Amino acid sequence: MTEEHLLREPHHDGSALFVDAPASLGDRVPVRVRVPAGRAERGVHLRQVRDGEPHVVEARLDRADEHERWYVAELDVHNPVTSYRFLLDEPDGYRWLNGTGLHARDVPDAADFRVTVHGSPPAWARDAVVYQVFPDRFARSGGERPVPDWAEPAAWDDEPVHVGPSTPRQLYGGDLAGIEQRLDHLERLGVDVLYLTPVFPARSNHRYDASTFEHVDPVLGGDEALASLARAVHARGMRIMGDLTTNHTGDAHEWFARATSDPTSEEAGYYLYEHGAHVGWLGHASLPKLDHRAPGLARRLVDGPDSVVARWLREPFALDGWRIDVANMTGRYRDTDLTHEVARRVRRTLEATNPDALLVGEHFHDATDDLLGDGWHANMNYSGFSRPVWSWLAPPDGGRRALGLPVPQPRRPGSAMAATMREFAAAVPWTVTAHQWNMLGSHDTARIRTVLGSREAVDVAVGLLMTYPGTPLVFAGDEVGATGEDGEHARVTMPWDRPDRRDDATFRTYRDLVAVRRASTALRRGGMRWVAVGDDAVVFLRETPDERVLVAVARAPWDGVDLPGHLAADVSTLHGPDVERRGGALRVPGTGPSVGIWRLR
């Protein structure tokens, strides 16, 4: 049985095909909705919320042909974040169109479309492919480096310890000069943003327990090594981003040492205390939590040109932005919630120092409330991408633990994956959806090869990663088939001199699909229209005013789908099997596991 397509439903998204981006409060922005010719709507209205009150205006018919009708209405950008949806008056009753689709019932405002006046991330971020490096595990330069007293040196081919006290102490000796020597690998892969997990001195291999924010860890080569790496990255036309923890420091941090030695010091106010003891992040005493009510902390960490945030964005380091560790917990404790205020301050300093810099938060679950304002540009999209993709492509017997949960990961149908993606995307402005960092795994998760169990399943996952709206992030090693049972175990070294540990076919898949994305404006900047959703396959369109690309990803053989022939006079295959013409229709083949990408002219 052939899958039914969804192109009979009206469609709108926040991309340039449907919305003229607002510049400021008071703008009147045309917003458009396309309605297939087969519907019998008597009219279309725009419902927006102004100052908390719904307001409905009629949309006018803008253009029509034998296949569809386009309606347009003026959206009054009356609030910094303005929400709206469309009302279709149909013979059997009215329907609402919002970010999760068409509804023949009343729905809450949570999934309404949104425009924001808070500005967009830098233009380069929309086209980027990010490569995450855990510095200790990527490459050794061969230079002499100090071995700190907390470290347990490891041979490069040793398996990472991931249980017990040695887990954060195992040190392989990767350094920043080693990364610089391997930049050719990043260019061959096609990525153009290098994101480094923390480089500040610490007492662990992950360095999220910084002992100072003033210098680069000598174990990594010190300040000059970062400056040299940044110069080399920029010379290749690439960008480099750092990782900053605004939620806590390590207990060896110079601020905390001052706070504990002198309770009357300014630094004593930088940390949270309860029942006579400092508060540790998630109960870890070694990670004292910062108190963002302290004016001195704001000045030194996030505010102004002399802050930590600003200093590393300037020469000689010139970082192109920050990823903020545990952004969801920054400034939050019991009855204190300063998260949005901290995010605004960080972004204000970022834009004042380098207007072309990017700010991404880490949030493992629902980040909706933290992404509506003028703080983080985007989020590491575990909930809206990683989790649903894992669940759809999990092995039939499941078995492995679900991401962050104490239960096995079930294998779910494509409809569940698509519904989850739509719900999370609908909860934030399109400009956020279009810049979310989508990933198949990171230094905090199991490796995607271990989760899915086969190269074929990973290939399908990479197809989704490179074609879904947002910014793809590749964790170093995934592109050569690295494995790992959990976040710590996944922090394996790169197998530069071990061809037996490299999967060259997986590398070619990543490289080829990165290249397909790079060659398509629609895949980098287009809207998102679901076309068909079945148990074993999903099909969608990415569209700009100048390009239309069709994507089909399948975890197993399926029935295929016939699409209206008017979608394209000509079809060119960018990746995967060819599309057939059958009786005037476009036949998407039911092959699988597979990734098919086609440009429709």
Rounded to whole angstroms, how far apart are CA atoms 243 and 133?
Answer: 11
Which DSSP category does 137 fall into?
A: G
Query: Which residues are registered as beta bridge partners of 46?
Result: 57, 86
Instruction: Decide if 362 is catalytic.
Output: yes
In this structure, the chain runs to a length of 601
Q: Token digits for 243? A: 């990782």
* CA-based nearest residue to 535, from 551, 517, 514, 557: 557
Which DSSP category does 202 fall into?
A: -
The residue from 180, 325, 479, 543 that is catalytic is 325
Question: To which H or E segment does residue 29 belong?
Answer: strand 28-36
* CA-based nearest residue to 44, from 66, 64, 24: 64
Rounded to whole angstroms, how far apart are CA atoms 524 and 127?
Answer: 6
Tokens 């909706």 -> residue: 368
Q: Token digits for 220? A: 């990594």
Determine contact, residues 75/82, Cβ cutoff 8 Å.
yes
Determine contact, residues 132/473, Cβ cutoff 8 Å.
yes
CA distances from 196 to 60, 133, 136, 218 (A): 50, 5, 10, 16
- Strand residues in 99-177 grouped as ranges (E): 101-103, 113-116, 130-133, 152-153, 170-171
- Pairing mode of beta strands 130-133, 471-475: parallel
Greatest Cα pair distance, the chain, in angstroms, is: 82
Rounded to whole angstroms, how far apart are CA atoms 331 and 336?
Answer: 7
Q: Token digits for 385? A: 């991408």
CA distances from 528 to 222, 378, 470, 551 (A): 44, 18, 11, 11
Question: To which H or E segment does residue 559 belong?
Answer: none
Instruction: Decide if 325 is catalytic.
Output: yes
The residue from 362, 370, 503, 543 that is catalytic is 362
Question: To which H or E segment does residue 33 belong?
Answer: strand 28-36
- Ordered DSSP codes for 379-418: EB-IIIIIHHHHHHHS-TT--SBPTTSSSB-----HHHHH
* 455-467 helix and 504-518 helix, angle to the nearest 10 degrees: 20
Rounded to a whole number of angstroms, the distance between the first and last alpha carbons of the chain is 28
Which residues are part of the catalytic machinery? Answer: 325, 362
